[in-house]
Amino acid sequence: MTKLELIKALAEECNTTAGAAESLLDGLARVASKKLGEGGEVIIPGLVKLTTKERAARKGRNPRTGEEVAIPAKTVVHVKVLKALAEHVV
């Protein structure tokens, strides 16, 4: 589902305009991004839990040359599907 399709479906489901649905979706993305950037977690009830995790530095290989390269540590977003969604999909 594309962003435009999601906006249309959300507007229809909530009996609102596409503009209001887009504003809500964009606001959710901004709030989640800000909270995750602060090291917090974001729970979207019935869907997912977003958290950040530290990925340790490690050694990898260049697939073309086979040369060993250092991959630095970094922070990544971890997504956990909540039980309600997992049960609905299965």
Per-residue pLDDT of the chain in tens (90 residues, 90 and over written 9):
999 999 999 999 999 999 999 999 999 999 999 999 999 999 999 999 999 999 999 999 999 999 999 999 999 999 999 998 999 887
So what's the pLDDT on residue 89? 84
> CA angle, 86 as apex, 26 and 16 as ends, to 5°?
35
**Whole-structure pTM value:** 0.79
CATH code of the domain occupying 39-89: 4.10.520.10
CA atoms within 13 A on the CB side of 55: 11
So what's the pLDDT on residue 34? 97
So what's the pLDDT on residue 22? 97
Domain coordinates in residue numbering, the chain: 1-38, 39-89
